[in-house]
């Protein structure tokens, strides 16, 4: 495991915060632990963690605002939201705050560590692939759909020749749809192929990311013509 993998734990419950820090340190991660949203923002800006474990209900600045602020400032690494109640998951999904994943209390440390490892592996894989492409000199491979272009070499998407700002997971999802143009894809299949077979979350994650993509690539996100819903099935990319 690379020494540079840093995790920021944001949790106001002291016993849980200490347990999380201890568990993750034993896994070999460098851990920074804070108790409120203001310190979370300051620590994230100064230390650029590889992943943030962020409780929803924290003092000073709540978790949703911390997530929104960091995303607006360009923080692209995974943010895993922690909720105290199962129904808060719906709140997180409804707000579409930019979190990559969520987990509700109580949770097992084994499950949490598995999710963290999965997200960090994915991030590292993307970075390694980008580094390889930058140094390989390969010609760009581009998928073109009218005014929408997906540059696979640069992992870059343009709409009307303007770059569309996508998080890594959003890009991977759009590319997966594009490479299966015209096919009906179930949420479960998408989750398995894009998030990975070892992903533990549920299929609502797919719905949230689809909504984000529609806001960025559709003329009218409420009446999508590119990324359409198949009733009772899943989604289909029309190009």
SS3 per residue for 173-185: HHHHHHCCCCCEE
Q: Give pLDDT, residue 192.
A: 85
Q: In terms of domains, do 12 and 42 share one?
A: yes
Q: In terms of domains, do 57 and 118 share one?
A: yes
What residues are paired with 227 via a beta bridge?
237
Among 125, 149, 178, identify where a domain stops.
Answer: 125
Q: In terms of domains, do 117 and 176 share one?
A: no
Number of domains in the chain: 2
β-pairing, 227-230 vs 234-237, is antiparallel
Q: In terms of domains, do 104 and 10 share one?
A: yes
Whole-model pTM: value is 0.71
CATH number for 154:
1.10.10.10
Does residue 226 form part of some domain?
yes
Q: In terms of domains, do 120 and 152 share one?
A: no
Does residue 133 form part of some domain?
no
Q: Quick: pLDDT tens for 92-142.
A: 654 567 788 888 888 899 989 988 998 898 888 877 776 776 676 666 688
CA angle 194, 130, 210 (to 5 degrees): 30
Among 74, 99, 125, identify where a domain stops.
Answer: 125
Q: In terms of domains, do 65 and 172 share one?
A: no
Full residue range of the structural domain in which residue 61 is found = 6-125
d(CA 151, CA 156): 5
Q: In terms of domains, do 79 and 41 share one?
A: yes
Q: In terms of domains, do 116 and 22 share one?
A: yes
Q: Quick: pLDDT tens for 17-49.
A: 999 999 999 999 999 999 999 999 999 999 999
> What is the mean pLDDT of the segment spanning 153-178?
90
Q: What is the CA radius of gyration of the chain?
A: 18
């Amino acid at each position: 495991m690379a020494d540079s993998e840093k995790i920021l734990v944001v949790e106001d419950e002291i016993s849980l915060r200490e347990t999380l820090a201890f568990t993750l340190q034993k896994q070999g991660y460098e851990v920074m632990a804070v108790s409120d949203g203001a310190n979370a923002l300051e620590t994230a800006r100064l230390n650029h963690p590889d992943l943030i474990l962020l409780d929803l209900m924290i003092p000073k600045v709540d978790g949703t605002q911390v997530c929104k602020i960091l995303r607006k400032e360009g923080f692209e690494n995974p943010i895993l939201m922690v909720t105290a109640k199962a129904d808060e998951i719906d709140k997180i999904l409804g707000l579409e705050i930019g979190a990559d994943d969520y987990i509700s209390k109580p949770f097992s440390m084994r499950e949490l560590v598995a999710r963290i490892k999965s997200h960090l592996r994915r991030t590292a894989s993307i970075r390694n692939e980008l580094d390889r492409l930058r140094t390989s000199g390969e010609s760009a491979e581009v998928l073109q759909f009218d005014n929408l272009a997906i540059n696979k070499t640069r992992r870059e998407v343009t709409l009307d020749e303007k770059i569309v700002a996508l998080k890594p997971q959003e890009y991977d999802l759009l590319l997966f749809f594009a490479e299966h143009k015209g096919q009906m894809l179930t949420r479960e299949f998408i989750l398995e192929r894009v998030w990975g077979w070892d992903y533990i979350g549920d299929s609502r994650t797919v719905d949230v990311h689809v909504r984000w993509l529609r806001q960025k690539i559709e003329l009218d996100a409420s009446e999508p013509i590119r990324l359409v819903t198949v009733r009772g099935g899943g989604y289909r990319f029309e190009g």
